[in-house]
A = this chain, B = another copy of it.
C-alpha cells in the first residue's frame, strides 16, 4: 500500500424525496445562484420545475444555463463563466449527471480566476479557488457528484481533457434514486459501465499489498453487476436504482482507491473516442476495456485471475491462472453486451482509419506513456485499438 491523503467532505443527502431539500441546501451558500442543466430530459421529466420550486421556497434566486450536452463542451463553460461574472453569482447548482456537474465545476474554476479556464485543463496553471458547486444528481455513473475530477471537451480542437483537484469537489450532492426512474436503458447502462470502470481502473494496479481496497473494489463491481440489469429491466425498481447510485458514488470518490495507483489508461482512450466520434462516455470505455485487459493481463496474471474468481465467480483453478484471467475478461465483455454496451470498437461503430490520430491526441495530453498498471507506449496503444477492432471478444 502506498502513502496517501484522503478526505471526502461532500455532504451526501440520499434518498426518496430529497430533491425538495435543494433550495435549503443551496440557500446555505447564496441567495442568487446559477442553475446548470441539460435541456430535454431535465425539463421533460419535471425535475427542473421541482428544483425551481424548492429554490423559490427557500428564497433563492437563480439564473439558468441549460442545454448542456453529453461530453460537455468548453463553449458552454465560457457562457457560464460570463453569466457568473456579469451577475455576481457565487454558487452554482448542477442538475443532471456528469455533463452538467463537470460543466458547473469548470464554470466554478473559470469564474474564480481571471485566466482563460482552458489553461487549467492544459496544465499550464493550477486553480487556487472556485465558486462552490452543489449537485442534484439525475444520472449516476460518473461519480462526479463527490469526485475531484472534471472532464471538458474543447470542441474546436476536438480534444477532451480533465482536471483533478480536491477544491472542485461539490459541497453537497442530493441523490434521489427516484429521479433516475425516467432514465432510458441506454443511459442507465452507460452509467453502470462507467461506475464499474472507475472501480476497475483502480483495481488494476501495480501497487502490491492492497488487500482491503481490492475487496472494496470487488464489492462495488459486484453490486453494479447485480443491480444494473435489474434497473434496465425494471426502470422503477427503487432498490436497484439506489444501489447503482450509491455504488457509483463510492466507485469514484476514491474510497476504494486509497493507497493504490489506478490505471486509467482506458479512460484516456475513451475520452478521445468521445471527443472525435461523440460516443457516450460509458460506451467509449466498454468498447476498449476488454481489449485493454487482453493486451495487459500477462503483466500480473494473478491479479486478473483474482478478478475473475472474486468478481465473476469463475471456478478457482490454481493450475491455470491464465485460463481464469481470460474467462474473467470474457465475462466482462459478455456483461457489457448484456446491458446493451459495445464490447469492442466495431460494436461501437468506430472505424479503424484514425487510430494514429487517436493515439496522437492521447499522447498530446499524457506525455511518455499511458496508464500505470502497465505503461503503454505509442505502439502499445495502437495495438490496443487494433485489438479492440479485430477482437473475437
Decide if B213 touches A216 in the complex (CB within 8 Å). Answer: no
Contact of A215 among B11, B13, B15, B220 (CB under 8 A): B220
Q: How far is the CA of A226 from the CA of B218 in the complex (A)?
A: 16
A383 in the interface (beta carbon within 8 A):
no
Decide if A14 touches B10 in the complex (CB within 8 Å). Answer: no
| Binary per-residue interface labels of chain A (211-248) against chain B in the complex, 1 for a CB within 8 Å, 0 otherwise | 11101101110110011000000000011001100110
Decide if A255 touches B259 in the complex (CB within 8 Å). Answer: no
A370, chain B: closest CB distance, angstroms: 27
Residue of B nearest to A18 (CB): B3
Decide if A7 touches B11 in the complex (CB within 8 Å). Answer: yes
Known contacts A211-B227, A216-B250: A3-B7 contact under CB 8 Å: no
Decide if B5 touches A11 in the complex (CB within 8 Å). Answer: yes
Residue of B nearest to A237 (CB): B209
Residue of B nearest to A11 (CB): B7
A236, chain B: closest CB distance, angstroms: 14
Residue of B nearest to A1 (CB): B242
Known contacts A2-B15, A10-B7, A14-B4: A223-B227 contact under CB 8 Å: no
A220, chain B: closest CB distance, angstroms: 7
Q: How far is the CA of A246 from the CA of B6 in the complex (A)?
A: 11
- Determine how many copies of this chain the complex contains: 2
Decide if B209 touches A220 in the complex (CB within 8 Å). Answer: no
A258, chain B: closest CB distance, angstroms: 7
A12 in the interface (beta carbon within 8 A):
yes
Decide if B255 touches A255 in the complex (CB within 8 Å). Answer: yes
Most chain B beta-carbon contacts within 10 A, residue among A16, A209, A218: A209
What are the 3 tightest A-B residue pairs by CB atom distance, in nearest-first order? A3-B15, A215-B219, A209-B239
Chain A to chain B contacts (Cβ below 8 Å), 30 pairs: A1-B239, A1-B242, A3-B14, A3-B16, A3-B17, A3-B18, A4-B12, A4-B15, A5-B11, A6-B11, A7-B9, A7-B11, A7-B12, A8-B9, A9-B9, A14-B258, A208-B239, A209-B238, A209-B242, A209-B243, A211-B223, A211-B226, A211-B239, A212-B219, A212-B246, A215-B219, A215-B223, A216-B216, A219-B219, A246-B259
